[in-house]
A and B are shown apart, each in its own frame.
Chain A
């Protein structure tokens, strides 16, 4: 790997600072995992509640490393032809049409069918060569000269079969294409897999990955995140807002507000030129971070109390 890359990964605090430079505030835990992933050449499986910045982590890492981000969004029914490679059927067909005459030339003079086949065999399987291969995200990531950040998003949404073939890519950084052979990575990509835990990932997959669990951030860190993301927000409002959200997270809700929703709310408050947290204002903007009617009702009842607590808190 390049010298500059090694420099970037020379210490854990450096990674933390580097990510901070891209606007991603992360805990030491996250930085440590990145550090290890780089030095041990391992993919990272990121789990955690929705909206804590799992995908964002991959994006920030790509910016930090100065590498292209290649993203594969998983869904039910995703298969090899969408994730790995596909033959360029159209091109193959076109070329056979164009080369028809040439083929006739080659085959001229051969009497029997067997003879023509053996003649054809002298030319390799030209139509099934890398030229006719359409690389999909996984293969594309392996083929990047400088390396890449590969993000396999929401891997839990894919089928168990897909998971099985991910294993080959993840452990050896290579892909087998039956007609061509094995294609190995030119330089190993940095792999992130994210999962929302809709289903338990298989043991072999977990074994091959480093596992990172990102929980909801501590109040301190959430304030830092807000500072980086919504710089226009005043300091007092920022800490009140975080205190409020943390109280809401303790309730039994259908969908607990995540970091991204905190950020959205902060932006809304900035737009409304709010200077401090008032029950009325909160009630009016609740729907920014609560997405279910039931949740809204639960929180609405306690807005006054929560606002009081949040404003009082040091």
Chain B
């Protein structure tokens, strides 16, 4: 029973616990027993938390859950006369006798009955406190106190005082308990909401402090990509029958073909060149594109990155050398990079690209442009993009603006798009996910 509640709070905190793991945990707890806290913790950890991240959550949860040593304050609470007083409600009797265990049990029973684990907002706290007190028999207690305070009663003044003090303590205990339950069951709710929110929210709106979290999502995504790679490679390994090798290899079997050999297919790994606009109009957005680029750099070997504003510079080394925060700071300030952060000039940037890297664009290269195509009414140099389009495997353009804005004002998107294999709005992680999917399909 205790274990089940613990598992519920663990699940709530984002650890996936399957049925079979539940059984394992129960068996483990049974095997080692409940005497040694550390051993119990280790045993449950080993059967429930299956990665470093989960271990951390587990430790946190375990400490919070099993630290609930309730009714501690009753240790020093000694009512004047500990003699059970007849004719009072059970709750009052427990308070008068200082029955710590009884109170503790009564509270957890009450808590279960009102289903305190469903608590998810802090505004619900006082409601749960009241409900638990109700379940424990608050009404009876109140009546007892009322009866005692009548002058003609046969009650000692001491027991009345004890009862009143006890009632206050009880309230505090229950409040602490609910507080703990709230921390246990509700702290993860915001996390879940946050994660799904971040997946949908526009990249440019996300605050600085969420960068770390965003990076995790992107890494998760890239990780999935990698898994897909290895699977693809496996099918390629089958390939077609390689007659020559097969015959040679099977000579030792009297020419009987025991061991067929296959001709491997070549894997088509994406070779990327990414051009990212970092001008002021897309600043908030480019930060996340750079973040995305950084994650790609960590995962893919053949990738070159450029950033541009008035001119264009290569930044692949920055990604390779520095940590993420440092790299982003460096790129955004443009310091020591020879980057001019003036008017955005797509024409000049494309020309720079032609000089710097066009000769390395091959038919295996995918060129990605990230930017809003707002060229300040300068010459867009579509001829250069056309050249890139002809040389490369394909050109993708990711634009943070929604399609309705393309071609309005100084946006040159409409003039660029004929030379792009694919143009897409991309301002949320979901968009990004789609793009990456697209990128990995070899027969694009």
Known: A89-B258, A160-B230. A39 touches B31 (CB 8 A): yes
Residues of chain B contacted by A45 (CB below 8 angstroms): 50
- CB pair A207–B18 under 8 Å, yes or no, is yes
- CB pair A159–B234 under 8 Å, yes or no, is yes
- CB pair A200–B46 under 8 Å, yes or no, is no
Interface residue B359 (Cβ < 8 Å from any Cβ of A): no
Interface residue B208 (Cβ < 8 Å from any Cβ of A): no
Residue from the list B52, B237, B252 in contact with A47, Cβ < 8 A: B52
- CB pair A203–B16 under 8 Å, yes or no, is yes
Contact pattern, A 198-228, Cβ under 8 Å of B = 1, otherwise 0: 0110010011111111000000000000000
A67 to chain B, nearest CB (A): 21
Residue from the list A28, A40, A197, A200 in contact with B31, Cβ < 8 A: A40
Known: A36-B32, A36-B47, A93-B253. A207 touches B42 (CB 8 A): no
Specify which of B49, B50, B231 lies most central, judged by the most chain A CB atoms within 10 Å of its CB.
Answer: B50
Residue from the list B21, B24, B42, B323 in contact with A32, Cβ < 8 A: B42
- CB pair A160–B231 under 8 Å, yes or no, is yes
- CB pair A160–B43 under 8 Å, yes or no, is no
Residues of chain B contacted by A260 (CB below 8 angstroms): none
- CB pair B39–A12 under 8 Å, yes or no, is yes
Interface residue B27 (Cβ < 8 Å from any Cβ of A): yes
B234 to chain A, nearest CB (A): 6
Contact pattern, B 51-69, Cβ under 8 Å of A = 1, otherwise 0: 1100100000000000000
- CB pair A210–B47 under 8 Å, yes or no, is yes
- CB pair A28–B38 under 8 Å, yes or no, is yes
Within A63-107, the residues touching B (CB, 8 Å) are: 76-77, 89-90, 93
Q: How many angstroms between the C-alpha atoms of A203 and B27 in the bound complex?
A: 20
Residues of chain B contacted by A90 (CB below 8 angstroms): 252-253
- CB pair A93–B42 under 8 Å, yes or no, is no
A242 to chain B, nearest CB (A): 23
Interface residue A192 (Cβ < 8 Å from any Cβ of B): no
Chain B, residue nearest A171 (CB): B20
- CB pair B21–A207 under 8 Å, yes or no, is yes
Q: How many angstroms between the C-alpha atoms of A206 and B54 in the bound complex?
A: 12
- CB pair A160–B21 under 8 Å, yes or no, is no
Residues of chain B contacted by A284 (CB below 8 angstroms): none
Interface residue A35 (Cβ < 8 Å from any Cβ of B): yes
- CB pair A159–B46 under 8 Å, yes or no, is no
Interface residue B254 (Cβ < 8 Å from any Cβ of A): yes
Q: How many angstroms between the C-alpha atoms of A47 and B45 in the bound complex?
A: 13
- CB pair A36–B46 under 8 Å, yes or no, is yes
Known: A42-B24, A252-B323. A32 touches B32 (CB 8 A): yes
Specify which of A44, A90, A213 lies most central, judged by the most chain B CB atoms within 10 Å of its CB.
Answer: A213
- CB pair A200–B223 under 8 Å, yes or no, is yes
- CB pair B230–A206 under 8 Å, yes or no, is no
Residues of chain B contacted by A47 (CB below 8 angstroms): 51-52
A52 to chain B, nearest CB (A): 13
- CB pair A213–B27 under 8 Å, yes or no, is no
Residues of chain B contacted by A28 (CB below 8 angstroms): 38-39, 42
A217 to chain B, nearest CB (A): 15
- CB pair B18–A93 under 8 Å, yes or no, is no
- CB pair B253–A40 under 8 Å, yes or no, is no
Known: A28-B38, A93-B254. A161 touches B234 (CB 8 A): yes
Interface residue B338 (Cβ < 8 Å from any Cβ of A): no
- CB pair A160–B47 under 8 Å, yes or no, is no
- CB pair A210–B227 under 8 Å, yes or no, is no
Interface residue B221 (Cβ < 8 Å from any Cβ of A): no
Residues of chain A contacted by B223 (CB below 8 angstroms): 199-200
Q: How many angstroms between the C-alpha atoms of A40 and B27 in the bound complex?
A: 7
Within B3-33, the residues touching A (CB, 8 Å) are: 16, 18, 20-21, 24, 27-28, 31-32
Contact pattern, B 217-254, Cβ under 8 Å of A = 1, otherwise 0: 00000010011001100100100000000000000111
Interface residue B2 (Cβ < 8 Å from any Cβ of A): no
- CB pair A32–B43 under 8 Å, yes or no, is yes
A75 to chain B, nearest CB (A): 12
Known: A40-B27, A77-B237. A213 touches B253 (CB 8 A): no
Interface residue B256 (Cβ < 8 Å from any Cβ of A): yes
Interface residue A29 (Cβ < 8 Å from any Cβ of B): yes
A192 to chain B, nearest CB (A): 13
Chain A, residue nearest B231 (CB): A160
Residues of chain B contacted by A42 (CB below 8 angstroms): 24, 47
Interface residue A144 (Cβ < 8 Å from any Cβ of B): no
Contact pattern, A 28-68, Cβ under 8 Å of B = 1, otherwise 0: 11001101100110101101000000000000000000000
Q: How many angstroms between the C-alpha atoms of A242 and B252 in the bound complex?
A: 57
Interface pairs (19), CB distance under 8 Å: A12-B39, A29-B42, A29-B45, A29-B46, A32-B32, A32-B43, A33-B42, A33-B43, A36-B43, A40-B31, A42-B47, A47-B51, A89-B258, A89-B259, A90-B253, A207-B21, A210-B24, A211-B45, A213-B55
Given contacts A40-B28, A207-B50, A211-B46, list 9 more A-B pairs with CB under 8 A: A29-B45, A36-B31, A90-B252, A160-B230, A160-B231, A203-B18, A206-B50, A207-B18, A210-B47
